[in-house]
């Protein structure tokens, strides 16, 4: 898991460098402007050429190529014309022709460093690292004409070869040779990030920030680091700052909007997705994410609006029908919801979910036979164990425990004792209070898959509730917790196991942690109250029992909690 996180951060940091290379070329805009501080001759040639293509040839690269082919015939030794031809070939995706042209310039005019740089970049793009490296090494040997970009690119080439020591040597020399210290430290941080030494990477990003607090790639990289370490508030600040410097950076805005959404910051996410939507109001991603944000902000009318726009512009995007159905269910437009769910196609990943919700709506409308038939018919079209489990739960809720057992047994034999069915069957047996049979099934599940955390937890908790073999039950839930340490239900079970063993301090620690993850579960609150009661902390126990009474309206549960309160 740790390795995956490192790879993720390395990819995030690499994205910074890609975005830097793309600056000024967003939205397919070819136009560039002069006036860049200390623009070199190569930049000037590129700017003039792009503007010439736009103005003289209406953006037609092929016409420009024809024009410069004639110019080259008239001036065959003019390396500027040949360089323009090479750039045009690259734009026209004729890479081999561009390479030949640049190699010709290198032979005729070896002093043309700009052609060499473009040739080295081309080699690099084709994966010919050794040729690219040789050119950049030659460029850096000529200190009077060498540039910071030459040094940074050579360090990048060494990194591609995993030769981090050589990459750092180039950067150490560049630190003394060039005054753009922020760029040098930024690239040093990149080397460390490639080596997964993120503490040194951070130190160098911070040094770069001291030299230039507005250097965009560095601001983004610091944001990615904070995001990786889970410091989301700091990450937001860096990303927001980056957008203040460059408000047209749509990739950065999209990343920030997605991050806000993942962290349930729906207002902030909505704001950024709306800015993106204003630029491209038919983009499927923007429309769907705006709808999601409005949904979680309880702004259902706006959420429906964006989903309808999504379907209008992308009728093939039938997942929108699933979300629209959820919205309509939320606003109690049940007939519309049934229609929307029925439009989700079989190939869609939400097909099963849509039909499960559809069946639940029918069930809630007391159309139970129709709900049962829909589940059975849909299962024939697209077989899913989830339909079978839903039928099992349906029968249990109707008190048809024999039917539940029958359908699960039928599919157990069909599936060759599929583990998921076995587990579902065990749950049905517990509902029927057939505990011995339930235990046998769960033992077989665990035998087939020793890491089946839910089966271990279910078995252990059931034994705890029946005060059966507490020590064995403790071992089962302990094993489940080792497999799934962040699962709040398993935390609760282990806490309850400590309670049963009289280890109340350990119990309370786990139960409170479980509650922090699932504050809506009344059984966890009841377990906390029971633990405080055993610890003779009656006032705290009363507070927690009263929380259960507010949350749980079940008559039997209410009666039980009131009895416990009376005993305090």
What is the rounded CA–CA span in Å between residue 127 and residue 160? 10
Percent of the chain clearing pLDDT 90 (strictly above): 45
What is the rounded CA–CA span in Å between residue 287 and residue 280? 10
Exposure string for 382-396, b = 16+ CB within 10 A, e = fewer: eebbebbbbbbbbbb
Residue with more model confidence, 401 or 497: 497
Residue with more model confidence, 397 or 430: 430
What is the rounded CA–CA span in Å between residue 207 and residue 189? 9
Q: Name 345's Cβ contacts closer than 8 Å, sequence gap at least 6.
A: 318, 351
DSSP 348: S
Look at residue 17 and tell me whether its pLDDT is greater than 50: no
What is the rounded CA–CA span in Å between residue 198 and residue 231? 14
Predicted local confidence at residue 44, as pLDDT: 58
Look at residue 6 and tell me whether its pLDDT is greater than 80: no
Neighbours of 1 (CB within 10 A): 4
What is the rounded CA–CA span in Å between residue 479 and residue 474? 9
Quick check: 238 and 255 in contact, CB under 8 A? no
Look at residue 15 and tell me whether its pLDDT is greater than 60: no
What is the rounded CA–CA span in Å between residue 72 and residue 74? 5
Please name the residue that has the structure tokens 């805009």: 29
Predicted local confidence at residue 139, as pLDDT: 87
Exposure string for 466-494, b = 16+ CB within 10 A, e = fewer: eeeebeebbebbbbbbeebeebbbbbbbb
Residues in the chain: 568
150: nearest Cα among 186, 107, 184 = 184
Residues 68-91: what's their mean pLDDT?
A: 87
Greatest C-alpha distance within the chain: 105
517: nearest Cα among 543, 495, 540 = 495
Please name the residue that has the structure tokens 């190529």: 65
- For CA atoms 338, 343, 345, 346, the dihedral sign is positive
Look at residue 105 and tell me whether its pLDDT is greater than 50: yes
Whole-model pTM over 0.75: no
DSSP 26: G
Residues 208-230: what's their mean pLDDT?
A: 92
Quick check: 549 and 561 in contact, CB under 8 A? yes
What is the rounded CA–CA span in Å between residue 198 and residue 201? 5
Interior angle at CA 96, CA 90 and CA 98, nearest 5: 40
What is the rounded CA–CA span in Å between residue 482 and residue 93? 54
Please name the residue that has the structure tokens 């069957």: 425
Q: How far is CA 108 from CA 41, 79, 141, in A?
A: 18, 8, 20
Q: How far is CA 156 from the centre of its chain?
A: 27
Question: Phi and psi of 249, rounded to 5°?
Answer: -80, 90
Token representation of residue 397: 């809720």
pLDDT one-digit tens code per residue, 273-317: 999 999 999 999 999 999 999 988 999 999 999 999 999 999 888
What is the rounded CA–CA span in Å between residue 195 and residue 189? 10
pLDDT one-digit tens code per residue, 259-276: 999 998 999 999 999 999
pLDDT one-digit tens code per residue, 317-343: 888 899 899 889 888 999 999 999 999
Q: How far is CA 336 from the centre of its chain?
A: 32
Please name the residue that has the structure tokens 């090479």: 86
Token representation of residue 341: 């769910």
Q: Name 548's Cβ contacts closer than 8 Å, sequence gap at least 6.
A: 522, 525, 526, 529, 557, 561
What is the rounded CA–CA span in Å between residue 368 and residue 121? 67
- Label residue 472 by pLDDT band (50, 70, 90): very high
478: nearest Cα among 468, 493, 458 = 493
Predicted local confidence at residue 81, as pLDDT: 87
Predicted local confidence at residue 46, as pLDDT: 61
Residues 515-520: what's their mean pLDDT?
A: 86
Predicted local confidence at residue 79, as pLDDT: 87
Residues 95-123: what's their mean pLDDT?
A: 88
């Amino acid at each position: 898991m740790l390795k995956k996180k490192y790879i993720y951060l390395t990819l995030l940091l690499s994205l910074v460098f890609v975005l830097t290379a793309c600056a000024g070329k967003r939205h397919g805009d070819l136009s560039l402007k002069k006036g860049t501080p200390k623009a070199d001759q190569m930049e000037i040639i590129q700017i003039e050429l792009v503007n010439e293509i736009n103005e003289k040839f209406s953006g037609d690269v092929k016409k420009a190529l024809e024009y410069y082919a004639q110019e080259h015939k008239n001036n065959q030794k003019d390396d500027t014309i040949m360089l323009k031809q090479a750039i045009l070939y690259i734009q026209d995706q004729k890479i081999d022709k561009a390479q030949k042209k640049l190699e010709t310039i290198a032979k005729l005019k070896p002093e043309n460093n700009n052609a060499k740089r473009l040739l080295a970049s081309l080699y690099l793009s084709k994966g010919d690292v050794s040729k690219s490296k040789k050119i950049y090494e030659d460029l850096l040997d000529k200190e009077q004409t060498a540039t910071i970009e030459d040094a940074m690119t050579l360090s990048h080439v060494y990194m591609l070869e995993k030769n981090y020591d050589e990459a750092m040597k180039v950067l150490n020399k560049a630190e003394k040779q060039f005054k753009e210290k922020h760029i040098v430290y930024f690239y040093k941080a990149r080397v460390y990030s490639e080596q997964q030494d993120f503490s040194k990477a951070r130190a160098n990003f911070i040094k770069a920030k001291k030299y230039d607090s507005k250097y965009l790639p560095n601001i983004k990289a610091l944001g990615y680091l904070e995001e990786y370490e889970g410091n989301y508030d700091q990450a937001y600040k860096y990303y927001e700052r980056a957008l203040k410097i460059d408000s047209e950076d749509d990739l950065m805005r999209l990343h920030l909007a997605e991050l806000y959404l993942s962290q349930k910051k729906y207002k902030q996410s909505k704001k950024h997705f709306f800015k993106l939507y204003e630029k491209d109001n038919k983009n499927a991603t923007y429309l769907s994410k705006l709808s999601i944000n409005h949904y979680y902000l309880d702004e259902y009318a706006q959420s429906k609006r964006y989903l309808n726009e999504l379907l209008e512009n992308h009728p093939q995007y039938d997942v929108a029908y699933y979300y629209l159905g959820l919205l309509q269910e939320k606003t109690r437009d049940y007939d519309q919801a049934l229609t929307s769910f029925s439009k989700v196609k079989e190939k869609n990943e939400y097909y099963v979910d849509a039909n499960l919700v559809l069946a639940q709506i029918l069930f809630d409308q007391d159309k139970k036979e129709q709900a049962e038939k829909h589940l059975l018919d849909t299962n024939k079209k697209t077989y899913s164990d989830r339909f079978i489990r839903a039928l099992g739960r349906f029968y249990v809720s109707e008190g048809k425990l024999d039917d539940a057992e029958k359908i699960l047994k039928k599919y157990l034999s069909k599936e060759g004792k599929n583990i998921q069915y076995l587990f579902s069957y065990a749950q049905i047996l517990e509902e029927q209070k057939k505990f011995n049979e339930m235990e046998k099934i769960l033992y077989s599940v665990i035998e087939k898959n020793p890491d089946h955390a839910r089966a271990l937890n279910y078995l252990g908790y059931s034994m705890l509730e029946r005060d059966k073999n507490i020590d064995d039950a403790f071992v089962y839930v302990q094993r489940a917790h080792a497999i799934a340490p962040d699962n709040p239900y398993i935390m609760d079970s282990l806490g309850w196991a400590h309670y049963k063993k009289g280890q109340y301090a350990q119990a309370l620690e786990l139960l409170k942690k479980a509650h922090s993850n699932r504050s809506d579960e009344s059984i966890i609150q009841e377990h906390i109250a029971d633990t405080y009661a055993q610890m003779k902390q009656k006032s705290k126990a009363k507070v927690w029992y009263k929380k259960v009474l507010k949350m749980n309206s079940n008559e039997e549960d209410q009666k039980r909690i009131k009895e416990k309160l009376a005993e305090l």
